[in-house]
Each structure stands twice: as structure tokens, then as C-alpha cells.
């Protein structure tokens, strides 16, 4: 979880905190290898540097703002300001747009004070620093606090801002970026991640030239359906796995986000991440504070792979729910039964889960709604979280009892933010639904989005989880789905302040998630959104994992997992073995899912006896190798985007175990097969090379199988792990024998 903040904002009495109202010449904010240097000039705050940490304090006066060199000393006064606002001397994209009560749109922020305090980990040890800088306008009573959290070892920064309206009347916000960061390089390359249902996290790279590149979402909920809230920027060269300077950034927000990348007349790049202001001119009441989402980033000087590993460690140590905890392997019934099940069928699934050796049976959609509102398809029942008595006469307690008999844990699917018009909830509370009062409604998956800006609706959604947990304290897992964007855009709760809707909605969603995580801290929860339509670090503070995609075709999954792995650790990424692309072997499908949090969504009747035996063994291997796969360092070795193969290896934190996953996708006829050079091993140590996850009766064809080789050899010479076969996989364990 988050590092605890020792004291409240600007409380300088607390131990370890230091506070100053005197404007410092330079402000250094940083981690073990990266730093941001700010300066105060004429009371205004500017960025002088963001890059590798500078070693010699005496050099600092000579560090000049990005782009300064080409201006012959006549640079625009405001240039590289840290919190530039609309209506000031800036002619580029501002961080903030503020309309004051008299209609004036200018704001100039001046330094007021700075406070530094240690960031503490869960054990109370210092893991970094938080720096808060207070700025204020001199003419209008608005204050802006810039927050910087920096994790020393992990090299991760989290930046956000809070704007306070000190006026007696409301102000209107028209732009609200979390931060603005400037970079100075010859060339900039953006790697972005497009998305769609069953096509999540697709990577493409483009050079940024003069002007703005804006990537955003306006979907409100299921917000990442078309694009992901994270990106990479390669400086001087395209982002590359093992070399070069690269920024990896993520906007922690489940609603409408936007990132703007602007290259100016001096070829300086400004990165502005935040909430999308589209249809969101936000009215901020007197005395209220507007907090932006957090922007999480790291700078790597050794390519994307190193940046990803830093983010993975940070996410497990400080961000995702139960980041150090174990993860439950599971059997899901969605693709096996869809809506067509009863208690007996589910009891059978639970026995199958046991037979497979997984920890948990997960009951998916279709267990609720009664009579004409029964959930027998996606057309009815959402919102009515009462068990369907016809399908499940003994209710959820009956299923919990069946799970106990079968010897597995029990988990359940919910989609509590949504409602079908065909439901009791909709008939009783039409005012709880985002919907146009006077227009013909349109639907996405036959459903509507509940108005989560409304605290009553938030209580209702929290109550869905509470109701299930109160009745069934043994429930061991939730899958929390969110299948629709916001449609029929009108919030009955916001009334005339419709500009606040998208932002208050996202805040409402996060608030309910937080309450649930606080109430049931040890219950793992999977974030799902019609596949991977919601995956951001704000939500993942309250979830142990997310469902990457409904697309479980193993070939497609290799790309999807490659994409998400740039930002998220394997233990947060759920991957299931299903019947998608039956042309591939069960072994291939399982080996692909074994790279992440392993699950199955298949009936055992679909497996031969050999395949079942293979799966049991694969589950046991995955559990044994969890310290490497789930909690170790990941090295992406061979990209499916750049070859007809893919390879990734993991190394446990203690170095005792490592595992290589090698896949042949569509090799060409007589294609030269390159050896796979591993990474992250101890060059001095010796490793027993053993191919695992073999089908019963088959022997390893790996030339090095059974050999003991040094880390040095494995990293320099590598293994002949690839073959010329189509859709072929190898899982190779490397046991450290010292
Ligand atoms: C979404 C999820 C699926 C499944 C269905 C149930 O599409 O991504 O995994 O839970 O909803 O309706």
C-alpha cells in the first residue's frame, strides 16, 4: 500500500518535517537516480532540470531551464513555469484554466512555502520523501499545492496538485492537469497503447514533432476501452527495451483522462497529464479543494525494461492492494456455462476446480435477479443483487457450503455500478441513473450507468458488497466488472452543474472502492471492465489484480500481456486458460497464462485425461515458481512485435529460482533460430536447467535440458529455446544450485 504520510499538509510540528516560507534558490526533488530541480525567480516557480541526478551541488547555479540556450537571453518570462495558468504570459498549453467570479481568466501563482517530510513504508521505515509546495495568486484568493512523492530506491515519482478556492463565490475550472514536466532532447518518440474490446494495450510508436499530440478518453466509465492511460517517451531514439533514456508515465484515474504532449518553438517537450476537461468545466464551490489525479512516472536510462521493473517493484511494495500477498489460482465458469447454470452444475465446477488443483472457484455473471428481471442474458437483472432462487435455491450460502465440501474457496462476480432498465432497481430509483430526462435513451450492452456522484448511490453500491459479505463471510474473492461507458449523459444529482458530472462520478467510484478495500482488506478483488477497460493505479490501490482482456486466444494474449507488462507487475495481471483458439494446444494456452496470475475458464470435459494431468502439473509448477513469476523481476527478452517468437524470464528476489517462457508464434520456413539470452541471473551462480510443463509421456527436446550452467553462460550464450514449430511453447526452470 501507499507509504504513510507522517503528518498532515503543512503541519511543521511533526517529526521529520521541515517547513520554509523563505523562497529557496533551487529546490531539489528526487530519487536515487533522477531529480527534478525547480527555481523561484520573481516569486514564480520554474523547472530547471528533470533528468539524471546531478552530483555536485556547486553546479546547480549553472543549470538552465530547458530550451534556454536558443533564446539569446530573451526567453519568455514564464517559460518552463511549473504551474502555468491560462491567461498569463504563456502562449502554450497551460496546466490550469481558472475563471474567477468576475469572469477574469488570468491566474499567476507565486511561491508561498515548501515542506519536506519523509515517506514511510508499512513498517514505518523511510522509503522516500514527499515535497509539498504552496503557491498562491496575489489578486484572486486561489491557492495551489503541488505534491511530489519520490520513492528513493524504486525511482518512482507520484505528482498531483490541489487547488483551493478561497473566494466567497464559486470559480470555474476549465483545465486541471496534475503537473507539467519539461524535457529537452533532439527528438521525442511516443509509444502509445491503443485498445478496444479484445484488443487491449496495442503498442505503436510515433515521433512527436512541433505542436500538440493529445490522447484522451471521453467514455466516463469503462474509460480505457479505446486507449490506455499510460505512455512511454523515448528521448533521441524510440523507446527500446534495454537501452536509452525513456519516460514511463501513468495517469491514475478511472474516469476521463487526457495527456497532452506539446513540442514548442525551442523543441522543448512539455508533458501535461491529467483529467480531460472535455464537457467538464468544473464549478468549485467556495472553500473547496479540487484534487487532480496522481501522475506516476519513472525515468529509466537503460531502456523500458528497467523502467518497468522499477514500476513493478514500486506497485507491489506501495501501491496495489495486498502487493506482497499471495494470489489465488482459480477456475471461472463464464466461458464454460455463460448464464446457463444451476447449483448442481456449479457444484460440479467446484469439484473440477479441486481436481485441477486451483485455489478458488469463481462464479461469474448470471446468479441474480428474479422473475421477469432474472439475469438469464445481459438484458435484465443488473442492479438486483438478490440471488436467483430458481437457479440457486439454496442461495449463495448454499454455494459457499458446496465450495467447502469440494475443498476450494469461493468467489463471486458483481457489476455494482450498473443497472439494466429491466430491473427492480431501475423501476424503484430512476433518479439514481445517468440518463437524459427528455430524450430517447441509447444503451451499451443493454445497461445504464448509476449516478455515482450521488452519495446515496455510493452507499447503495457499497451496500451490494456489504450485503454479500455479511451473508457470506467466507467469500474469498470478488470480480468487479464495469461493462458500459457513460451513455445518455445527464446526472440527475448534479442538476445544473453538469460540468462536474464526469469528475464527481470518477471520485464516487474511487470512494466506494476505497470503502470496500478498507472494510475487507484481506479479500482479493479483480478489477474487470468488459475485459481490460479499466486498469489504472488509482483503482488498483483497492484491487489485487485486473482482467487484461476477454481475448484469451494465446497468440493475442502474448501481445496484450507484453503491452500491460510495461506498467503492471505480473501478479496484478489475470490470465486464464479458455477455449479461445482451440487450434492451439492446451499446453500452449496454459504456458501463456502461466506468465501472469493463472486461472482457467474452461470445463474439464473439454480436456483429455493427458491434458488434465498436464494442467494439474502446470498449476503446481506455477505455485512453486510464484516467488519468481509473481514477486520477482521480469525481463522481456524477445518481443512478439519484432520477431516471430517471444521470450520473457523472471528471477526471484533471492535469486534462488528463475523461469524462462519461450514461445514460437509463426516462425517462417527454415527461419534461423536465435538463442535466448537470459537476464537478471547471478553470473557466478550455477543453474540446473530443466524444461517443465511437459505433456505426459513427452520428453524435452531442449538440448540444454538437465545441464548445470552458469548465469554467465546463460546470459551470454543463452539457450536454444525456440523451435520452428507454430504455436509452440517451452517453460524452462532454472534452479540455482550455487
Ligand atoms: C465482461 C467480462 C467477462 C464476463 C462478462 C459477464 O465481459 O469481461 O469476463 O465477466 O462481463 O457478463
Range 389-392 contact pairs with CB under 8 angstroms and sequence separation of 24 or more: 391/341, 391/342, 391/343, 391/366, 391/367, 392/342, 392/343, 392/346, 392/367
pLDDT for res 8:
35
pLDDT for res 21:
81
Q: Name, in order, each residue with C-beta under 8 angstroms of 620's C-beta and a sequence gap of 6 or more.
A: 357
Span 117-144, pLDDT tens digits? 999 999 999 999 999 999 999 999 999 9
Angle between helices 343-356 and 395-406 (to 10 degrees): 30
Look at residue 2 and tell me whether its pLDDT is greater than 70. Answer: no
- Ligand 1: atom nearest CA of 547 is 8
Minimum CA distance residue for ligand 1 atom 2: 530
Domains of the chain and any CATH numbers: 17-319 (2.70.98.60), 330-629 (3.20.20.70), 633-736 (2.60.40.1180)
pLDDT for res 5:
35
Q: Which three cell numbers stand for residue 608?
A: 483429455
Centre of ligand 1 to C-alpha 602, Å, is 14
Look at residue 364 and tell me whether its pLDDT is greater than 60. Answer: yes
Q: What is the mean pLDDT of residues 707-726?
A: 98
pLDDT for res 64:
77
Span 269-294, pLDDT tens digits? 999 999 999 999 999 999 999 999 99
Centre of ligand 1 to C-alpha 153, Å, is 38
User: Is this model's pTM higher than 0.85 or not?
Assistant: yes
416: helix, coil or strand?
coil
Q: Which three cell numbers stand for residue 709?
A: 550452467
pLDDT for res 10:
52
Centre of ligand 1 to C-alpha 404, Å, is 25
Minimum CA distance residue for ligand 1 atom 7: 530
User: In testing the pocket of ligand 1, which one of 330, 338, 362, 365 has its CB within 8 Å of the most ligand atoms?
Assistant: 365
Unique residue bearing C-alpha cell 551462480 = 685
User: Would you give the DSSP letter of residue 82?
Assistant: T
Minimum CA distance residue for ligand 1 atom 6: 365
- Ligand 1: atom nearest CA of 479 is 10
- C-alpha 716/C-alpha 226 separation (Å) is 40
Number of helices (H), then strands (E), belonging to the chain: the values are: 13, 38
Centre of ligand 1 to C-alpha 530, Å, is 5
Contact 323, 315 (CB under 8 A): yes
Pairing verdict, β 573-577 and 545-547: parallel
Q: Which three cell numbers stand for residue 703?
A: 538440448
Q: Is 528 in the pocket of ligand 1 (CB under 6 A)?
A: yes
Q: Where are the alpha helices (DSSP H) in 201-333?
A: 304-314
Span 12-51, pLDDT tens digits? 556 677 878 877 779 999 999 999 999 999 999 999 999 9
Report which secondary-structure segment, H or E, holds 627: helix 626-629
- Ligand 1: atom nearest CA of 413 is 10
Span 398-407, pLDDT tens digits? 999 999 999 9
**Percent of the chain having pLDDT more than 90?**
91
Q: How many CB atoms lie within 10 A of CB 479?
A: 25
- Ligand 1: atom nearest CA of 364 is 10
Span 390-433, pLDDT tens digits? 999 999 999 999 999 999 999 999 999 999 999 999 999 999 99
> Phi and psi (nearest 5°) for 594?
-70, -15
Q: Nearest to residue 205, comparing CAs of 566, 546, 679? A: 566
Q: Nearest to residue 559, comparing CAs of 237, 207, 198? A: 198
Q: Is 335 in the pocket of ligand 1 (CB under 6 A)?
A: no
Amino acid at each position: 500500500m501507499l507509504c504513510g504520510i507522517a503528518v498532515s499538509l503543512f503541519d511543521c510540528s511533526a517529526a521529520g518535517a521541515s517547513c520554509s516560507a523563505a523562497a529557496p534558490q533551487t529546490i531539489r526533488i528526487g530519487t536515487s537516480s533522477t531529480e527534478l530541480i525547480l527555481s523561484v525567480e520573481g516569486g514564480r516557480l520554474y523547472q530547471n532540470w528533470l533528468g539524471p541526478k546531478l552530483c555536485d551541488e556547486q553546479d546547480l547555479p549553472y543549470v538552465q531551464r530547458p530550451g534556454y540556450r536558443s533564446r539569446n537571453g530573451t526567453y519568455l518570462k514564464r517559460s518552463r513555469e511549473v504551474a502555468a495558468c491560462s491567461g498569463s504570459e504563456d502562449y502554450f498549453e497551460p496546466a490550469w484554466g481558472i475563471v474567477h467570479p468576475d469572469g477574469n481568466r488570468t491566474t499567476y501563482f507565486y511561491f508561498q512555502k515548501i515542506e519536506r517530510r519523509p515517506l514511510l513504508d508499512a513498517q514505518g521505515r523511510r522509503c522516500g520523501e514527499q515535497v509539498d509546495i504552496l503557491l498562491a495568486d496575489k489578486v484572486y484568493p486561489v491557492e495551489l499545492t503541488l505534491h511530489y512523492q519520490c520513492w528513493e530506491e524504486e525511482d518512482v515519482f507520484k505528482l498531483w496538485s490541489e487547488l483551493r478556492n478561497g473566494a466567497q463565490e464559486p470559480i470555474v475550472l476549465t483545465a486541471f492537469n496534475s503537473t507539467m514536466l519539461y524535457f529537452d532532447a533532439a527528438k521525442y518518440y511516443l509509444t502509445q497503447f491503443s485498445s478496444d474490446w479484445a484488443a487491449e494495450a496495442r503498442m505503436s510508436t510515433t515521433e512527436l514533432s512541433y505542436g500538440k499530440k493529445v490522447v484522451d478518453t471521453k467514455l466516463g466509465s469503462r474509460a480505457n476501452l479505446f486507449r490506455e492511460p499510460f505512455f512511454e517517451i523515448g528521448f533521441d531514439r524510440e523507446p527500446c527495451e534495454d537501452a536509452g533514456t525513456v519516460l514511463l508515465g501513468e495517469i491514475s484515474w478511472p474516469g476521463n483522462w487526457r495527456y497532452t504532449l506539446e513540442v514548442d518553438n525551442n523543441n522543448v517537450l512539455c508533458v501535461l497529464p491529467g483529467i480531460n476537461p472535455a464537457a467538464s468545466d468544473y464549478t468549485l464551490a467556495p472553500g473547496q479543494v479540487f484534487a487532480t489525479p496522481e501522475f506516476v512516472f519513472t525515468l529509466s536510462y537503460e531502456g523500458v525494461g528497467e523502467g518497468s521493473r522499477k514500476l513493478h517493484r514500486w506497485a507491489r511494495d506501495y501501491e496495489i492492494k495486498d502487493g506482497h500477498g499471495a494470489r489465488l489460482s482459480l477456475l471461472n465458469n463464464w466461458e464454460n456455462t455463460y448464464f446457463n447454470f444451476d447449483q448442481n452444475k456449479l457444484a460440479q465446477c467446484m469439484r473440477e476446480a479441486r481436481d485441477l488443483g486451483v485455489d478458488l472457484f469463481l462464479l461469474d455473471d448470471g446468479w441474480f435477479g428474479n422473475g421477469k428481471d432474472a439475469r438469464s442474458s445481459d438484458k435484465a437483472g443488473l442492479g438486483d443483487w438478490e440471488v436467483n432462487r430458481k437457479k440457486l435455491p439454496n442461495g449463495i450460502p448454499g454455494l459457499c457450503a458446496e465450495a467447502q465440501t469440494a475443498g476450494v474457496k469461493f468467489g463471486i462476480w458483481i457489476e455494482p455500478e450498473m443497472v439494466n432498465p429491466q430491473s427492480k432497481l431501475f423501476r424503484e430509483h430512476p433518479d439514481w441513473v445517468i440518463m437524459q430526462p427528455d430524450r430517447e435513451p441509447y444503451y451499451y450492452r443493454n445497461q445504464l450507468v448509476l449516478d455515482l456522484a450521488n452519495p446515496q448511490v455510493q452507499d447503495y453500491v457499497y451496500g451490494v458488497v456489504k450485503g454479500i459479505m455479511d451473508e457470506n463471510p467466507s467469500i474469498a474473492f470478488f470480480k468487479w466488472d464495469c461493462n458500459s461507458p457513460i451513455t445518455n449523459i445527464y446526472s440527475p444529482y448534479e442538476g445544473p452543474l453538469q460540468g462536474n458530472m464526469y469528475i464527481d462520478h470518477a471520485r464516487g467510484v474511487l470512494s466506494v472502492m476505497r470503502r470496500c478495500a478498507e472494510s475487507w482488506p484481506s479479500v482479493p478483488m479483480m478489477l474487470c471492465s468488459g475485459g481490460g477497460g479499466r486498469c489504472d493505479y488509482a483503482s488498483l490501490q483497492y484491487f489485487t489484480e485486473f482482467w487484461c482482456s476477454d481475448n484469451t486466444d494465446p497468440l493475442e494474449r502474448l501481445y496484450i500481456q507484453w503491452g500491460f507488462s510495461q506498467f503492471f507487475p505480473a501478479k496484478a495481471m489475470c490470465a486464464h486458460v479458455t477455449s479461445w483458439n482451440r487450434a492451439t494446444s492446451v499446453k500452449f494456452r496454459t504456458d501463456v497464462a502461466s506468465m501472469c496470475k493463472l486461472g482457467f475458464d474452461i470445463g474439464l470435459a473439454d480436456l483429455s485425461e493427458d491434458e488434465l494431468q498436464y494442467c494439474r502439473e502446470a498449476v503446481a509448477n506455477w505455485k512453486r515458481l510464484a516467488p519468481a513469476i509473481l514477486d520477482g523481476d521480469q525481463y522481456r527478452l524477445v518481443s512478439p512485435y519484432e520477431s516471430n517468437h517471444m521470450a520473457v524470464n523472471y528471477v526471484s528476489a533471492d535469486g534462488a529460482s528463475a523461469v524462462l517462457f519461450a514461445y514460437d508464434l509463426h516462425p517462417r520456413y527454415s527461419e534461423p533460430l536465435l538463442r535466448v539470452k537470459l537476464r537478471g541471473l547471478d553470473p557466478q551462480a550455477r543453474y540446473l536447467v530443466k524444461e517443465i510443463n511437459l505433456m505426459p509421456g513427452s520428453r524435452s527436446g531442449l538440448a540444454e535440458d538437465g545441464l548445470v550452467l552458469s548465469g554467465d553462460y546463460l546470459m551470454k550464450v543463452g539457450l536454444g529455446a525456440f523451435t520452428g514449430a507454430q504455436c509452440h511453447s517451452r517453460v524452462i526452470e532454472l534452479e540455482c544450485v550455487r
